[in-house]
Amino acid sequence: MSGWTIAVFGFLAFALGLLGLLSPDSLLGLLGFEVVEARGPGDYTKVYMAASSMAAVNMGVYYMLAAASDWRPFFLWTVPFRLVTCAVFSTLVITGAAPSEFLGVGLWEGLGALITGYALWRERSSVGDPATR
């Protein structure tokens, strides 16, 4: 089950990364950021969107490959890092640095971490898999 949680997250990261590369304004809108007709000099929003979207594509591939190879230590490592990501993204919304829709990113990370952690715990409890200890 833990492999499925990683595979689903990987696929979603990959798909959203592709969306950001192909249609950055669509992803900006989805995240609750204002989409403007024209950007002024020195506005590097599109460059940032391309860089972060490419990172999401890469991360999605890493996660899917880890799931395909059933690399449980990787699954375990993702849990605390995704919880940190949840805290950072949620803090951005709470402090007003990001729009409220961006909270979905934090919740996606946090909920995904908890589901993966629970799946790993269940697998360890039922099978005694040393790789998840």
> What pLDDT is stored for residue 95 in this prediction?
97
67-76 pLDDT, tens digit each: 999 999 999 9
> What pLDDT is stored for residue 43 in this prediction?
87
In contact, 97 and 89? CB cutoff 8 Å: no
Domain assignments of the chain as residue spans, ordered by start: 2-132
**Distance (Å, whole) CA 53 – CA 18:** 7
Q: Which residues of the chain have pLDDT under 50?
A: 132-133
> What pLDDT is stored for residue 132 in this prediction?
43
14-36 pLDDT, tens digit each: 999 999 999 999 999 988 888 88
**Distance (Å, whole) CA 133 – CA 120:** 9
- 33 exposed, middle or buried (CB, 10 Å; 0-12, 13-18, 19+)? middle
Q: Provide DSSP, 58-126.
A: HHHHHHHHHHHTT-HHHHHHHHHHHHHHHHHHHHHHHTTSS-GGGHHHHHHHHHHHHHHHHHHHHHHHH
Q: Which residues contact 69 (CB under 8 A, 6 or more apart)?
A: none
